[in-house]
Structure 1
């Protein structure tokens, strides 16, 4: 892990990260030979915006890809999934990013605004973890029901009897819980609230799922994964949901969460990978990772990329194809993802996604 440490430390600010980076050694005919090392043949700027969830790995991908195409600059704005969807539909960026897939309604709106179909595809998987301020709580067992009660303010102290019953071998402190949530439109919030809505009927009825939730009073908001991480680190008794990469980098304790088979699973990379492999992924790429059992971690999310079949100039289209093909075919890209705590896609899924990448500007 290299140059994103300062990004996490920023806290609640909205980072705009400009990368002197690569977007593939394209051979000039749209084939996107991004795995070459010939010093690059493309030049220009790409802009993207959206989820904070993949921002650490996006930064590393772009920085390392710069050795392939040093003439290309990528500016990715880590503004949250809601903003990424909005800017994609408004065509104010070259690509959007979100932890929530585009619904049929979103796709209809995008097609109407652009005059051609939008294309969406996954690129990475990662866990949404429950992180603590107190390192002594690392491995504390939680269920969907107890997490829902904490955020609904039914459980307000770590020594609550329900938490003690789940953790008989842990000396839980007499400490008020401060639940921290995302205050911006967030795909991380979508993954988290979708999980709770799937597992807890009371949560589904009262709060539902989405990139934004009407949180109970007594909870604290933070902007982006960075802001939530900062709130957790700064407040004694804080607990919050973040992308695991941020929890790892800032050294926060993490909860084990009981999955569909009743197993308390710590959010390791292996547990995330197993959850992603159990997911059924349709041709539309509109899917959630639900009802995960075995050794799979139950709160696992996906990051999607959004592009269009038309409207790009030829150079921009070639840069987009080359960049995402590099992400999909480069061993280095997978190694960087693993280093940062993300689970890369399997070979079969990558082949399916590459077919989506080739749709970029195909209707121009």
Structure 2
């Protein structure tokens, strides 16, 4: 009995130990589950709080930006606006492609918050802007080129042209495609005796400004005339009945497409979109005939003297129009330019100031990636120059940069 009792006690003790261990395991398992649940809940809560804390005042801005001007930048601007507003749905941006001249003038009159132009405002216009607004910023937004497009039936190969030949066409001094000056540049083609229709912009245009300024700097024939350069000029070819004015870049491309034996000038992306053939243009600095390709435009950018640009973009930048023209480098297309945006520096509307700052910051950074054909991104040093100058934008003498960063 005693042995049995001892054995029974041992068995009972083993059962008790097992039972206690089981109870401890269950309790510990439940505690671990609760801890994991709490931890997960806490982690989710922390993530939500982090997300909430990262929602800065900038994403809550409610403002409208009215911009307009350059037709050159319009296709890209529409892409920018859509992408920007997907991140800042409280900021509404509208852009009207009315031409550079009207864009800057509407900005001067207060109708636009941003004036877009293919050239920096001329000195006289810059003076008017500063008289009205105090300081203004003139900011590059993208790089592009002016293509010389043509419609010559049965023409094959590449049409070679020089600034002087183009000048004489628009001056009305060369009127037919079989002119000896054109034939000398293109001995591979037998031109017929057909009158040249010289298409140009009918509205105030930055593209016209660039084209005529390039003619002025590159052609003695153009400099000897009284045409000069500007958003609009009096075209001598019109007096002969050989000129045709199209409104906007779309108007010029349409007229060249519809009229055999015509020639015109448009921004590269319009030529690409309409599948119009560009001419190879002589770069007088190198003697090369160069087609407007991404490579030739980038070559011009890479070899331009960008160090000549001032550190302050509040200055009169009209003298820097030629920075990309006739760049001395082989395979550099000779008619390359910045596109520009003009804005005020000082604002009394906080939301407006913040919205403009954020939009222009977007353009100078994210907006420079994956650009459509015909546009080339700003050099990295120019992007940094823009970001530094955007810090000048202020609300009641306080830098907006400090409010939204």
Contact 1:124 1:302 in 2 (8 A): yes
Match of 2:56 in 1: 27
Q: Does residue 128 of the first structure (1) align with residue 128 of the second (2)?
A: no
Could you tell me which runs of 5 or more consecutive residues in structure 2 were left unpaired when the two chains were aligned.
1-53, 398-405
Contact 2:149 2:276 in 1 (8 A): yes
Q: CA deviation at 1:26?
A: 8.6
TM-score normalised to the size of structure 1?
0.84
Q: CA deviation at 1:241?
A: 0.3
User: Does the residue aligned with 1:304 lie in a helix, a strand or coil?
Assistant: strand
Q: Does residue 280 of the first structure (1) align with residue 300 of the second (2)?
A: no
Contact 2:119 2:209 in 1 (8 A): yes
Match of 1:230 in 2: 254
* Residue of structure 1 aligned with 2:101, choices 68, 77, 82: 82
* Residue of structure 2 aligned with 1:93, choices 97, 107, 112: 112
- Deviation string 1:239-283 (CA, Å, 9 cap, x unpaired) is 100011000000111100010211000000121122233333421
Match of 1:292 in 2: 327
Shift in CA distance, 137/80, structure 1 to aligned 2, threshold 3 Å: farther
Shift in CA distance, 257/42, structure 1 to aligned 2, threshold 3 Å: same
User: Does the residue aligned with 1:156 lie in a helix, a strand or coil?
Assistant: coil
- Deviation string 1:150-200 (CA, Å, 9 cap, x unpaired) is 111222222222111111223434332100001111100010000000011
Shift in CA distance, 67/258, structure 1 to aligned 2, threshold 3 Å: same
Could you tell me which runs of 5 or more consecutive residues in structure 1 were left unpaired when the two chains were aligned.
1-24, 33-39
- What is the distance in 2 between the residues matched to 1:45 and 1:308? 15
Instruction: Tell me which protein shows more helix as a share of its residues.
Output: 2
Q: Does residue 321 of the first structure (1) align with residue 349 of the second (2)?
A: no
Q: Does residue 356 of the first structure (1) align with residue 386 of the second (2)?
A: no
Match of 1:310 in 2: 346
Match of 2:41 in 1: none
Match of 2:25 in 1: none
Q: CA deviation at 1:92?
A: 1.6
Match of 1:244 in 2: 268
Shift in CA distance, 173/66, structure 1 to aligned 2, threshold 3 Å: farther
Aligned positions of 1:99-118 closer than 5 A: 99-114=118-133, 116-118=134-136
Match of 2:233 in 1: 213
Total equivalences in the alignment: 326
Contact 1:137 1:255 in 2 (8 A): no
Contact 1:138 1:254 in 2 (8 A): no
Contact 1:120 1:356 in 2 (8 A): no
Match of 1:258 in 2: 282
User: Does the residue aligned with 1:298 lie in a helix, a strand or coil?
Assistant: coil
Q: CA RMSD in A?
A: 1.9
Q: Does residue 270 of the first structure (1) align with residue 295 of the second (2)?
A: yes
- What is the distance in 2 between the residues matched to 1:122 and 1:138? 35
- Deviation string 1:75-131 (CA, Å, 9 cap, x unpaired) is 1111111111111222221111111212343232112222x2111111111110110
User: Does the residue aligned with 1:169 lie in a helix, a strand or coil?
Assistant: coil
* Residue of structure 1 aligned with 2:368, choices 334, 338, 344: 334
User: Does the residue aligned with 1:254 lie in a helix, a strand or coil?
Assistant: coil
- Deviation string 1:309-359 (CA, Å, 9 cap, x unpaired) is 1135111111111111111111xx23442x231111111111001122222
- What is the distance in 2 between the residues matched to 1:298 and 1:276? 11
Q: CA deviation at 1:362?
A: 5.5
Greater mean deviation of Cα atoms: 84-93 or 345-354: 84-93
User: Does the residue aligned with 2:347 lie in a helix, a strand or coil?
Assistant: coil
